[in-house]
Structure 1
Amino acid sequence: MTKQSMTALLEQMTLEEKIFQLMQLTPNFLSEDDANLTGPLAWMGVTENMVNNAGSVLSAVGAKETIALQKKYMENSRLGIPLLLMADIIHGYRTIFPVTLAIGSTWDLELAEKSAAIAAKESAVTGIHVTFAPMVDLVRDPRWGRVMESTGEDPYLNSEYARAFVRGFQGDDLAGDLDRVAACVKHFAAYGAAEGGRDYNTVNMSERQLRESYLPAYKAALDEGCEMVMTAFNTVDGIPATGNKWLMRNLLRDEWGFDGMLISDWGAVGEMIPHGVAADGKEAALKAIEAGVDMEMMTSHYANHLKELVEAGEVDVKLIDESVLRILKLKDKLGLFENPYRAASEEREKEVLLSPEHRAAAREIAAKSFVLLKNEQQALPLRSGQKLALIGPFAESGDILGPWSIWGKQEETVQLHAGLSAHKAADIVAVAKGSDIDAVTEEQLQEAVAAASQADVIVLALGESSEMSGEAGSRGDIRLPEAQLELIRKLKPLGKPIVVVLFNGRPLDLHGVIEEADALLEVWFPGTEGGNAIADVLFGDVNPSGRLTMSFPYSVGQVPVYYNNYNTGRPLTPQNANERYVSKYLDMPNAPLLPFGYGLSYTSFSYGEATLSTDVMNVGDTLRVSVDVTNTGAAAGEEVVQLYVRDLAGEVVRPLKELKGFRKLAIQPGETQTVTFEITEEQLRYYHADLQLKSDAGEFHVFVGPNSRDAEAKSFRLTK
């Protein structure tokens, strides 16, 4: 349909029909069950007329249900306006990929895009039109449970992943490619900066910090063509995002030029009341529509109050028309007016969901996401002929999909025991649970010791349950539960090599684990093919190449701790480490236990000295930075070569390092490859005190290395 026909359709709608298009409900509201009349319908003040004209439904399951919902809805639609079906497809629909933080750890944008494309295909065939992803919130506090949905602490890397996920979900032709879905970037804005790492909590920062660190990834997603934006639960400069006119109208609409659809998060319009910026639902509706929120998710303040506000002259009907038109345009872009059911197909669903091709991709991406954090005495890879005892609460657990794997099924998941048993080199002589996630009995410990005594190597499967991270999964103590630390202490005196396989959704305080383990493999929540992928890495079929995209703290007392921090007027240095009056802790180091970009391999790499094409760079020039990287070990491997820059004297303080590029190289034993990065003046810009994006003339340091910590500086000057 044309823009003119959309406008003509809008003109045919009554005010109530327009307002009801701004409502999103769950499928049970459209159910014919009489219980709805005294349950959800009555509780939310929703009438049958509202339901029949609601613009969207979220979280319908499967082609059978989505087709039935759309059919019933179209039968009741006076103007033939189709229903928009949305869902949280975060890191897979039925084929579950590793959690997003793990996908970030691959440092592989093509694999990230591939995971999103497969998730889109599987969800599209079930009838879903929009996914509430990607989540691109920058996170520096691992106490926050939703870190598992993020790609970490760096604005540049997050931006690159935001683009990759949008490309994967939407493809090049959203209208013509029915295996794609519209993407919705979230949570706008700065949701990952909640104080204390406590979900839904206050966010408070300067506009310069917001623009420099937290906004770039949202902007990157929109520049890639992302169709939708979701508001955040938190405040921005003292005003909840969902009612923040500066954030949504001035910045998102006017400055960035976004004219797509903006949806609230679940109940966020109504949450302005407990936030304390709206006295009641009527005022909440007023503030949300004035801020530019097009669709209200799971509260009915628009439906119950906008008509009254328009008739009283408090809301201009043009605001409602703008929102409705954006919703209609998205429905049209998805081809729903011509085919309301789009790609939904019960028959094709059987072929697509969890197909062998999709399982293979999940296995590959999982293996590439694992980060080898420690490997002493060549404990890994495991060797043929070694007798293994598999011990721990995750030895035979299917709870390895992560908290946002809504449509994944544990019974379809390859757990660790099954994955190891299927490997030709495996000789598992004993299996024991050892402990529960957060409780242990003496009987369990004795069983674990007996199992370990039969083996040459202990494979210890530890971690968090999925309920310990994700939304509302904030933790004040991010160590492993004491029960699992007790299990390690019980097994350590046996003197057997201990290989820890760690399942979790966030960076942890690893004390009690890392010093006791001979090898430590971080596998996150690895998804449907987790067990097979872990076996691939433990036995050396795949050389681990994952690198951290978020620092692991030495202690929760350091949090937030991140690589791209500022210096102080009294910085801690090796020379003044024994002085008191410098910026340091008395009881722990300043640096994280494991830095951003860190990860080991089964081989070793050496870096030559970086060379610069010039030590004086003029505006308009391109500075080339080259380094030789050699595989000095006996195995083929992949190395993530990372480029960082520091502005030594800015108008405002600058980070000690900022990631500006990376390259993932596959290098054979004895082979040397040369990597060349390019730096332009544009990459050296930042937001000054006047919030203008520009660069400074002066001295810069450039670093090339395997992580944010281990890199030598080279200098150049920018002249203007």
Structure 2
Amino acid sequence: MHPYQNPALPIEDRVSDLLSRLTLAEKAGLMFHTMIAVNPDGTIADGNPMIPSASSLLRDKLINHVNILTFAPVPPERLAAWHNRIQEIAAGVGHGIPVTVSSDPRHGVIDNPAASAAAGGFSAWPEPIGLGATKDPSLVRGFADIVRQEYLATGIRVALHPMADLATEPRWARINGTLGSDADTVSALIREYVLGLQGDALGPDSVAAMVKHFPGAGPQKDGEDAHFAYGREQVYPGGMWDYHLKPFEAAFEAGAAQVMPYYGMPVDTEHEEVGFGFNAGVIEGLLRQRYGFDGVICTDWGLVSDAVIMGTDMPARAWGVEHLDRHARVLRILEAGADQLGGEHCPELIIDLVADGRLPESRVDVSARRILRDKFRLGLFDDRRFVDPAAAARIAGQPAFRSAGLTAQRDSIVVLTDRPVLAAVPGSGIAAPVLPLAEGISVYLDGVDPVIAAGYAKVVDDPASADVAIVRRAAPYDPRGVGFEAFFHAGRLEWTDEELAPVLELTATLPTVVDVWLDRPAVLTPFAGRAAALTGSFGSSDEALLDVLFGRAPSRGTLPFELPSSMAAVEASREDVPNDSADPLFPYGHGLPLS
């Protein structure tokens, strides 16, 4: 037994021993964190043209940090079996360094490959912005603890979340992944999120939180996203740079193990105008020195190499340093203070840099030590290397977890208006609020599953035969491009006349309840005075919504951001200032309680 294999020794001693034995190639392999595909049956996927083969990553490139991509639902027990298969491969390579498996969020009702996966066999919860609508730290702590248990059972040991970004720019496409616009509220939720994943200290029963996107990706110029060259600029016209750091400070206080900087480049600040992953002033100056963060820093995906993603040509997000070649980009990232390159699988570039004398191997050792430390703390070298597929089937998606997720979906729904309507009490001649709806009434549906609704009311096909209509719509946006870019809902927050017409026609015919999935703020002005009731949801199933509408569950949610009254008000607001539009239709925190 080598010292690094002895669980009785202190972790730092084990790290030092293993580090002294590794080849440069093994150290370089540690410093890449890339995508890997999983077949629905739990076998290793080696034939996907977008994703390198597992054999190539693990055996040839000696990479052992992988972000799982599932192109179809994978049952938890099969995900666990897949995890064991790749660990078996890794055990026979070099010094047998175990694989660390990571995942983007995968506990939502909504499936968006650009940000998160639908729950599948895991418990289903509202999107993060829905957790923000609850404003309940204990609920978020419970959510994160259930995520921890389900991830741990299937072998996922790094959560590529939470997002500590603030939803200060209403047009930004990634608001759905945030916890809201108010820094103090988000800070309280982020703290519990990290503690729920990791516990009081990172250990064998933890899932490491990779908090993103430092130093706060919310203030995107004109709301465009930094995945794309047209959205690379982050701006601070309100001078609120420090405001966006508050949730990260809460994450650090909670002991967050890892951090991911964003793609964006700061404009007109004291910092160099280069992407945050290349930015020494932000990573080394702020993160390492000001905050004393000595955990793993992993860049966002694809800062070095051009790629094709979902049929879309994606140039490397090397904003501000596009002129550099791949070797120079890697060197710039490491000199800035990062440890891992996300979404890349080119350790040969680090080997070249060392061989050419441009990068001292001692700098590689600094990052390799941090990375190995987390593997040891997570117990991957010991009894946490393999998982039990039968236990994964029993733990993930168990009834208690699903029930907790459904309760959170209900708690996140916000009742925005509930107008007195004469027809709300049929035949009485009395006007009353339409909510809660009476069970057994006749309902006309648009965007709601009639099979689910049949458990609450009589579903009819003709609005003329209905007492009430229930309509669900997603917030509007400008379609952008194809492939990967199409998943980013950006641009306008208003519906077109053509999009509004069928809903407004219903509101003129009978009392209509309109629910809007608010993955971003939307301009609800056309509905506010016409819908009998107006609700906002944040990744809730039809069942969760109907439970609230029919009074089976109380309405507790309040808005996690303000809802503007017009696009003109949005365009006049400042990207870095929370809830900054003039005369909002509904202010931050608005919500009508129903019991």
TM-score by length of 2: 0.82
1:135-187 Cα distance to aligned partner (Å, 9 max, x none): 0111222211210111121111111111011111112354243xx41111001
C-alpha contact 1:102 1:524 (8 A) present in aligned 2: yes
C-alpha contact 1:29 1:41 (8 A) present in aligned 2: no
C-alpha contact 1:184 1:227 (8 A) present in aligned 2: yes
Unmatched 5+ stretches in structure 2: 1-9, 109-118, 306-315, 421-431
Q: Is 2:93 the counterpart of 1:65?
A: no
Partner amino acid for 1:375? D
Query: Partner of 1:5: helix, strand, or coil?
Result: helix
Q: Is 2:126 the counterpart of 1:126?
A: no
Name the counterpart of 1:477.
492
CA RMSD, Structure 1 to Structure 2 (Å): 3.1
User: Closer, same or farther in 2 for the Cα pair 1:189/1:239, shift >3 Å?
Assistant: same
User: Closer, same or farther in 2 for the Cα pair 1:10/1:563, shift >3 Å?
Assistant: closer
The correspondence of residues 164-563 of structure 1 with structure 2, limited to 5 A, is 164-177=192-205, 180-200=206-226, 201-205=231-235, 209=239, 211-236=241-266, 237=271, 238-270=273-305, 271=316, 273=318, 275-301=320-346, 303-342=347-386, 344-377=387-420, 378-384=432-438, 387-392=441-446, 394-396=447-449, 417-422=450-455, 426-431=456-461, 451-464=462-475, 472-480=487-495, 482-494=497-509, 496-526=510-540, 530-559=541-570, 561=573
Query: Partner of 1:390: helix, strand, or coil?
Result: strand
- In the TM superposition, residue 251 of structure 1 has moved relative to its aligned partner by 1.0
Moved more, 272-281 or 354-363: 272-281
Partner amino acid for 1:353? A
- In the TM superposition, residue 197 of structure 1 has moved relative to its aligned partner by 0.8
Name the counterpart of 2:96.
80
Query: Partner of 2:470: helix, strand, or coil?
Result: strand
- Distance in 2 (CA, whole Å) between partners of 1:429 and 1:211 is 51
- In the TM superposition, residue 340 of structure 1 has moved relative to its aligned partner by 4.8
- In the TM superposition, residue 490 of structure 1 has moved relative to its aligned partner by 2.1
- In the TM superposition, residue 459 of structure 1 has moved relative to its aligned partner by 1.7
- In the TM superposition, residue 73 of structure 1 has moved relative to its aligned partner by 1.3
Q: Is 2:590 the counterpart of 1:598?
A: yes
Identity of aligned residues (%): 26
Partner amino acid for 1:75? G
Name the counterpart of 2:34.
25
Query: Partner of 1:559: helix, strand, or coil?
Result: helix
- Distance in 2 (CA, whole Å) between partners of 1:186 and 1:294 is 15
1:28-51 Cα distance to aligned partner (Å, 9 max, x none): 599987758x97559x9x966764
Partner amino acid for 1:420? A
- In the TM superposition, residue 79 of structure 1 has moved relative to its aligned partner by 1.4
C-alpha contact 2:44 2:82 (8 A) present in aligned 1: no
Higher relative contact order (CA 8 A, sep 6+): 2
Higher strand share: 1
The correspondence of residues 611-650 of structure 1 with structure 2, limited to 5 A, is none
- In the TM superposition, residue 597 of structure 1 has moved relative to its aligned partner by 1.1
- In the TM superposition, residue 535 of structure 1 has moved relative to its aligned partner by 2.2
User: Closer, same or farther in 2 for the Cα pair 1:29/1:16, shift >3 Å?
Assistant: farther
- Distance in 2 (CA, whole Å) between partners of 1:365 and 1:33 is 34
User: Closer, same or farther in 2 for the Cα pair 1:127/1:525, shift >3 Å?
Assistant: same
User: Closer, same or farther in 2 for the Cα pair 1:298/1:170, shift >3 Å?
Assistant: same
User: Closer, same or farther in 2 for the Cα pair 1:509/1:306, shift >3 Å?
Assistant: same
- Distance in 1 (CA, whole Å) between partners of 2:579 and 2:533 is 34
Query: Partner of 1:57: helix, strand, or coil?
Result: strand
C-alpha contact 2:232 2:263 (8 A) present in aligned 1: no
C-alpha contact 1:188 1:218 (8 A) present in aligned 2: yes
Query: Partner of 2:364: helix, strand, or coil?
Result: helix
C-alpha contact 2:148 2:207 (8 A) present in aligned 1: yes
- In the TM superposition, residue 114 of structure 1 has moved relative to its aligned partner by 1.1
TM-score by length of 1: 0.68
The correspondence of residues 677-716 of structure 1 with structure 2, limited to 5 A, is none
1:338-388 Cα distance to aligned partner (Å, 9 max, x none): 13535x321112212222111211121111111110011143323436623
User: Closer, same or farther in 2 for the Cα pair 1:478/1:51, shift >3 Å?
Assistant: farther
Partner amino acid for 1:15? L
- In the TM superposition, residue 81 of structure 1 has moved relative to its aligned partner by 1.4
Q: Is 2:140 the counterpart of 1:96?
A: no
- In the TM superposition, residue 89 of structure 1 has moved relative to its aligned partner by 2.2
